[in-house]
Structure 1
Amino acid sequence: MSVNSARSLGDFLRSRRSRLDPASFGFSGRRRTPGLRREEVAQRAHISPTWYTWLEQGRGGAPSPDVLEVLGHGDAGGVKRLMHPELGPVELEYSAFSVDGRLDLGMIAYTPLDGEMAGRIKLLASRGQST
């Protein structure tokens, strides 16, 4: 990741974090600055607060597409689009869950958007099982 792109990512993350309303994410209490705290954003993205801070400072390296998607949306869910070598285009809805106060306990659940996609995934999974 180049210095300019790391700096741009950091600027984006700071700007996005300051525009997120803590109350809409279930956080309360007095704040010195607008938006979510770094620790709160890191928890939602299932990354360490240290790494998130480094990303904002332009020294954390390149995050994965999944981490970027959660950081970009600022929420705990959305739609994941990918290209599978056998299924072709796949769209999955995802939800991120974590145990309050435990950054090490988190899960992202993916579900097909419709019945047709669920059937294609089920058929592909059944190919890997012996009968």
Structure 2
Amino acid sequence: MSVNTALSLGDFLRNRRSRLDPASFGFSGRRRTPGLRREEVAQRAQISPTWYTWLEQGRGGAPSADVLDRIASALMLTDTEREHLFMLGLGRPPEVRYKSVEGVNPRLQRLLDSLEASPAIIKTPTWDVVAWNRAAAVVLTDYGALPPGQRNILRFLFGNPAVRAKQHDWEGVARFVVGSFRADVARAGLVSEAGALVDELCSISPEFDAFWRDNDVLGHQDGEAVKRLQHPRLGPIALEYSAFAVDGRPDLGMIVYTPLDEGIAGQIRLLAAQA
């Protein structure tokens, strides 16, 4: 098998079709080859059998995102396989599917916990914090002391005077967070879902209302990349931050804050161990 064949849309479709058990989908009859027939996949995907056949044969041009979504469902593809299907068919990943999140898997939590001196959080596109480590609890916010519905960074920043007072440059931080929030909800297709949160923040904070109307769109690469805080126990501290995508969960993001001073790092490690 050539590299080009192994990376073709048609070959991927044929391979995944051959792995499915016809009986589990209610299809019967003698078969010369394993898996579903082309017309059975087309029936499940609610597309023309001829069109599906052309796709496997590399004919007919590029399929639409809707067609690829139907085929992904028909072939029972995993999220990773679905993304690969879109890359082969359209040359781009599918749009993010937002999932309601209440926590993260143990593997990701262990990664957070291993960062003993670096506060780290996992957030959703609407900036709800769904996971954190001990360093984040002692330096940023003790998220565990709050009900899940209140663990939102924008609510902290615009509605909590104590959080606001800790910021070295509150306005700069607030503008950056609003611009990043706008970009995140648009990327995740959550503009309408975020409407209630936006309305709430506009009603409690004239500053948020003004920043939101500015229509700025920002990413982590657009900021200073250093967060400066006035911590009640550590005093003034500077944390360099980096943002990471979460593998297999494009709707989640990880932010890690690394102390610029080794002495502060040691103090954070000590506070986290005592927490």
**Aligned match of 1:47:** 47
- Matched residue of 2:33: which SS? coil
- Matched residue of 2:189: which SS? strand
**Higher relative contact order (Cα pairs below 8 Å, separated by 6+ residues):** 1
The residue type paired with residue 11 of structure 1 is D
Q: Deviations over 1:44-90 (max 9, x none)?
A: 11110000000001112222223212323414xx9x926144225xx
Structure 1: how far apart are the matches of 2:190 and 2:45?
A: 24
Structure 2: how far apart are the matches of 1:48 and 1:66?
A: 14
Structure 2: how far apart are the matches of 1:35 and 1:50?
A: 18
Q: TM-score, normalised by structure 2?
A: 0.27
The residue type paired with residue 46 of structure 1 is Q
Equivalent residues in 2 for 1:1-131, closer than 5 Å: 8-73=8-73, 74-75=75-76, 81=97, 83-87=189-193
Against the structure 1 CA distance between its residues 84 and 59, is the aligned structure 2 distance closer, same or farther, given a 3 Å change threshold? farther
Structure 2: how far apart are the matches of 1:54 and 1:21?
A: 23
Which is higher, the Rg of structure 1 or of structure 2? 2
Structure 2: how far apart are the matches of 1:66 and 1:58?
A: 18
Deviation at 1:19, TM superposition (A): 0.8
Q: Deviations over 1:5-32 (max 9, x none)?
A: 9x71111111011111100100111111
2:46 and 2:70 in contact (8 A); partners too? no
Unmatched tracts of structure 2, length 5 or more: 80-95, 98-187, 195-275
Deviation at 1:40, TM superposition (A): 0.4
Against the structure 1 CA distance between its residues 85 and 48, is the aligned structure 2 distance closer, same or farther, given a 3 Å change threshold? same
Coordinate RMSD, CA, aligned: 2.6
Structure 1: how far apart are the matches of 2:62 and 2:193?
A: 28
Against the structure 1 CA distance between its residues 60 and 84, is the aligned structure 2 distance closer, same or farther, given a 3 Å change threshold? farther
- Matched residue of 1:83: which SS? coil
Q: TM-score, normalised by structure 1?
A: 0.53
**Aligned match of 1:117:** none
Structure 2: how far apart are the matches of 1:53 and 1:84?
A: 35
- Matched residue of 2:42: which SS? helix
